């Protein structure tokens, strides 16, 4: 019997060890709001979560989920690409974000032709590492098994391999051994 943990559950487990009450986090791809709510619960009412998505349906779903759980006040959602993070977030927060989550691909339950794009994702990742606090973490769930996802995943592989190994460490988790299997990248910014 295979007791594999889902990549999202793996990301949440790692984040739980780092993200504390009062911290700040970003959900770079809010989708249906599951990760946004998870982050909001982790930072509590004294913390702050910023969320990004291009689709109004995703923002509405996330806002509704947060409101139902009592976490609408410690979140700020942007109907915008994750590649606009630095434009949307006040400069006072730069270098103070503890965790940034990316769950790439398409919005579950919607038009699968609307996907995260390689160019905007790479731009967002560059911005994300600048926004992170020292010792902060970046989680990236990538899905090479759908059209466009393979190109995006390859670009993420190349991007993280070019990071300075003295400033960042990267761990990769795979959901299976298939080349098309989803994977999770954990990028940690070193605290020195």
Q: Are the beta carbons of 39 and 25 closer than 8 angstroms?
A: yes
Closest-CA residue to 140 (of 148, 149, 4): 149
Q: What is the mean pLDDT of the chain?
A: 89
Average pLDDT (101-118) is 73
Tell whether the model's pLDDT for residue 192 goes beyond 80.
Answer: no
The confidence score (pLDDT) of residue 115 equals 66
The confidence score (pLDDT) of residue 3 equals 44
Bridge partners of 132?
97
Of the two residues 163 and 117, the one the predictor is more confident about is 163
Q: Where are the beta strands (DSSP E) in 11-91?
A: 24-27, 48-53, 75-79
Average pLDDT (127-131) is 95
Angle at 83 between CA 145 and CA 136, to 5 degrees: 85
The confidence score (pLDDT) of residue 113 equals 64
CA distances from 176 to 4, 7, 108, 161, 183 (A): 9, 10, 21, 21, 8
The confidence score (pLDDT) of residue 189 equals 95
Q: Which class is 7-189 in CATH?
A: alpha beta
Domain residue limits, the chain? 7-189
CA–CA separation, 136 and 110 (whole Å): 32
* pLDDT 10s digits, 8-47: 999 999 999 999 999 999 999 999 899 999 999 999 999 9
| CB neighbour burial string for 143-180, b if at least 16 within 10 angstroms, e if fewer | bbeeebbeebbebbbebbeeeeeeeeebeebebeeeee
Closest-CA residue to 137 (of 12, 30, 1): 12
The confidence score (pLDDT) of residue 25 equals 98
* pLDDT 10s digits, 87-104: 999 999 999 999 999 998
The confidence score (pLDDT) of residue 179 equals 80
DSSP three-state, residue 92? helix
The confidence score (pLDDT) of residue 2 equals 41
């Amino acid at each position: 019997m295979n007791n594999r943990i889902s990549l999202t559950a793996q990301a949440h487990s790692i984040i739980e060890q780092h993200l504390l009450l009062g911290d700040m986090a970003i959900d770079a791809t809010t989708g249906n709001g599951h990760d946004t709510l998870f982050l909001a619960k982790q930072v509590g009412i004294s913390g702050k979560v910023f969320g990004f998505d291009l689709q109004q349906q995703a923002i509405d779903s996330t806002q509704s989920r947060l409101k139902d759980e009592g976490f609408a006040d410690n979140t700020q959602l942007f109907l915008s690409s994750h590649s606009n993070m630095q434009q949307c977030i006040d400069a006072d927060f730069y270098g103070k974000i503890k965790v940034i989550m990316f769950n790439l691909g398409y919005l579950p339950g919607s038009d699968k032709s609307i996907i995260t794009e390689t160019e905007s994702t790479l731009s967002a990742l560059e911005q994300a590492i600048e926004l992170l606090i020292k010792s902060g973490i970046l989680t990236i769930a990538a899905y090479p098994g759908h059209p466009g996802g393979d190109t995006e995943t390859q670009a993420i592989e190349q991007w993280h391999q070019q990071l300075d190994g003295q400033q960042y460490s990267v761990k990769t988790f795979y959901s299976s051994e298939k080349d098309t299997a989803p994977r999770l990248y954990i990028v940690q910014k070193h605290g020195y």
